[in-house]
Amino acid sequence: MRDKILQIEKTAKLLSPDYSSRGEWTDKIVGFTQDFIENLESKRAYHNIDLKNTQLNLQITENGVELDQILDELSRFMINQGLNPASGGHLGYIPGGGIYAGALGDLLAAVTNQYAGIYYGGPGAVKIENELIRWMCSLMGFPSTSLGNLTSGGSIANLIAIVTAREAFEINSKEIDQLCLYLTDQVHHCVHKAIRIAGLAESQVRTIPLDAFYRMDSHALEAQILKDKALGLKPFLVVATAGTTDTGAMDPLKEIGLIAQEQNIWFHVDAAYGGFFILSELDHPEKGSVKAAFSGVDLADSIAIDPHKGLFLSYGLGAVLIKDVKSMYKAHYYRAAYMQDTWNPEDEFSPADLSPELTKHFRGLRLWMALHLHGIKPFVAALDEKLLLTRYFYSEIQKMGFEVGPFPDLSVCIYRYIPSSGDINEFNQRIVEYIVKIGNVFVSSTTINGDYWIRIAILSFRTHIREIDIYLNDLKQALNALTEK
């Protein structure tokens, strides 16, 4: 028995490479990432997908292959295909991040594999995650008794918030069809997913009209709530968006929050994209300041906010912030016999008790690392830079003859070209196709009330004025090419 164990131990120990093998692999991987970053500016933001080149060549084998082979394989079929989200030319959807300090935090989290689910297992990791959540709560003006959870992203953050609201209102299955939920057609689609997953699909979902700025019309909201009450229905939840995906619009949080308070309904703010602009020090022509556009966010019962958007971290870090931690706990905790030895101090919660997850990636370390290595100042500068770039773009594009949507509340705006003849939607679709084909930048589009609009969303930490000028130039080229007969 002992001999047999010792014999297979030799093979099993291949999973623990020695000091020099670790160094060799690490050097190669770091070299790969260094080259990747150094070459980003000369790389396309979008590579047309070569359907002949999307297949994996490497097979999973008994004995593994050389690291070089693996990196070659990744270069061939992954790095140079489709969207390059690390590029500063990524101006579509909501751009992602990938700041290096965050990646180093991930490496540390993975190598030390600290347990961030339960306090008893990883008090340090849990403390770090809860401190980050409390920091975000304080940014939003939430009381110090608030908490939340670090999630994989905004979708799960919105889901946890809605499930918590359901718990707080002690909704039972028989009353679901009388519940009223209020949102606009600009709400992110993951909110609709969350409503369904939370078991609330049979409730009355009211789509509140928008004003001319694509923001929720708060008067219409109030009127609808009163109407529903008069019908004997149960107004339950309003979802406002701080930075919509389509146009970057800020719903009037204060007005909505006061109505929610008055009518005793749960106020959720989806700030997945826009939330960190609360750090901005810029003015805003209509609101006074960008910060002022967030006035009333502290009235929220829950907020979703994505550090993998507004703090430029790699994909996989969102957050939900919740005032009523008791209801959050009630909705998510569970006790199992095999966990009977665990305990929590009075003043600290375990992430596993506030989310559907138990074992999870110690995802907070990337944010903690980045905030401590850089301090907050460069983040604020980068956010303000994105806002100013959007305003610069908004003004330049009008000089080129484009029609524009409202002045950008944040770092998204919509625009389209009205050709002298032909179908407007089709013409703008051709512009987008032309731009993506050039590949210097990647942009996406949306449709609002049947009109096709091109969007720009500026949120990559690598997007600077260089990238915007390149795009403006590409647009000139596109107009020339598409308008000449």
Q: Which residues bind ligand PLP (CB under 6 A)?
A: 94, 153-155, 188, 190, 241, 245, 270, 272-273, 306, 318
CB of 154 to ligand PLP, least distance (A): 2
C-beta closer to ligand PLP: residue 155 or 295: 155
Report, in Å, the least distance between residue 446 CB and ligand PLP. 13
315: left (phi > 0), else alpha (psi -120 to 50), else beta? beta
Burial of 424 (0-12, 13-18, 19+ CB in 10 A): middle
Residue 162 CB, nearest approach to ligand PLP (Å): 12
- With contact defined as beta carbons under 8 Å apart, do 58 and 73 qualify? yes
Nearer to ligand PLP, 190 or 210 (CB): 190
Q: How far is the CB of 296 from ligand PLP (least distance, A)?
A: 17
User: CA 96, CA 110: separation in Å to the nearest integer?
Assistant: 21
CA-closest candidate to residue 352, choices 109, 106, 116? 116
Report the nearest approach of ligand PLP to the CB of residue 229 (Å). 28
Catalogue the E-assigned strands of 184-228. 204-207
Shortest reach from residue 341's CB to ligand PLP, in Å: 34
Q: Closest approach of Cβ 150 to ligand PLP, in Å?
A: 12
Query: d(Cα 267, Cα 293) in Å, to the nearest integer?
Result: 17
**Smallest distance, ligand PLP to C-beta of residue 316, A:** 9
Tokens linked to 348? 């600290």
Question: Under DSSP, is residue 213 helix (H, G, I), strand (E, B) or coil?
Answer: coil
Smaller CB separation from ligand PLP, 155 or 411: 155
Tell me which residue of 189, 213, 272, 214 sits closest to 205, measured CA to CA: 189
Q: How far is the CA of 301 from the CAs of 156, 277, 409, in angstroms?
A: 16, 19, 23
Nearer to ligand PLP, 268 or 284 (CB): 268
Minimum gap (Å) between residue 188 Cβ and ligand PLP: 3
Q: Which is nearer to ligand PLP, 152 or 425 (CB)?
A: 152
Q: Which is nearer to ligand PLP, 161 or 190 (by Cβ)?
A: 190
Cβ(416)–Cβ(451) below 8 Å: yes
Q: Quote the least distance from Cβ 15 to ligand PLP, whole Å.
A: 33
| Residue 273 C-beta: closest distance to ligand PLP, Å | 3
Question: Is 122 or 154 the residue whose CB approaches ligand PLP more closely?
Answer: 154
Per DSSP (E only), the strands in 382-433 are 403-404, 412-416
Residues 6+ apart with CB under 8 A from 163: 194, 198, 331, 332
By C-beta, is 299 or 457 nearer to ligand PLP? 457
Beta bridge pairs of residue 403: 416
Nearer CB in complex with ligand PLP: 255/306? 306
Q: Closer CB to ligand PLP, residue 90 or residue 188?
A: 188
In terms of Cα–Cα distance, which of 420, 426, 483, 482 is closest to 454?
A: 426
CA pseudo-torsion sign 399, 405, 407, 410: negative
What is the number of other CB atoms lying within 10 angstroms of the CB of residue 208? 25
Q: How far is the CB of 376 from ligand PLP (least distance, A)?
A: 22
Q: What is the DSSP string of 231-286?
A: TT-EEEEEEEEBS-TTT--B--HHHHHHHHHHHT-EEEEEETTTGGGGG---EETT
Closest to 265 (Cα-Cα) out of 338, 171, 349:
171
CB 228 within 8 A of CB 180: yes
Q: Between 120 and 315, whose beta carbon lies closer to ligand PLP?
A: 315
The dihedral built from the CA positions of residue 317, 155, 454 and 405, taken in this order, carries a sign that is: negative
If the CB atoms of residues 137 and 272 are measured against ligand PLP, the closer one turns out to be 272
Measuring CA to CA, which residue among 401, 396, 398, 435 is closest to residue 419? 401
